[in-house]
Each structure stands twice: as structure tokens, then as C-alpha cells.
Amino acid sequence: MGLLWLRAWWMSLPRAGFLLDATLALIGTAMVASADEFHQSFLPNRTGVPSDVLLDCCGAVALQLFAYLVLRIRWPKRLARAA
């Protein structure tokens, strides 16, 4: 989910830097994870646990760092688009 948000912001804000796109992607991921946990709290066989939101956000951060490293190594000019 975090990579999908990252790509969405990357394409929507062409002049923004990677950090802004990654921050917005993390906020989007946290919102979706929170909504999912809220939904699960109403299901009889599931529980909504706030720590699952944190786990989803940690996964999003890890994949965004991986995406940054890939961009930094393979396409460094794409990261310098805002400069």
C-alpha cells in the first residue's frame, strides 16, 4: 500500500521532492490501516489492534527506503527532479 501511495504522489506532484512524497504516502498508509482496524473492530471474529497500524506503517517506511535506494542507485537523475 505504501508503494502505491508513493507512486501516486510521485506522479501527482512532479516538482515535489522524494521526502514530501514519502511523507504523504506514509500518511495515506496510516489512514488506510486505521480505517481497516476500525472496520475489524466491528467484526465478531476479528479485533482492531492499534499496533497493527504501526506494523503497517513500519512496512511502508521499509519499502519506501528500499524504493529510495533503488532510485538512488539506478536513476539518480529522477531524484534530482526538484532541483
Enclosing domain of residue 17 = 2-82
pLDDT tens digit string along 37-72?
999 999 989 888 899 999 999 999 999 999 999 988
Q: What does the pLDDT read at residue 83?
A: 46
Whole-model pTM?
0.85
Q: How far apart are CA 29 and CA 12, in angstroms?
A: 17
Q: Given a cut of 80, is residue 79 above it in pLDDT?
A: no
Amino acid at 6: L
pLDDT above 60 for 19: yes
Domains held by the chain: number: 1
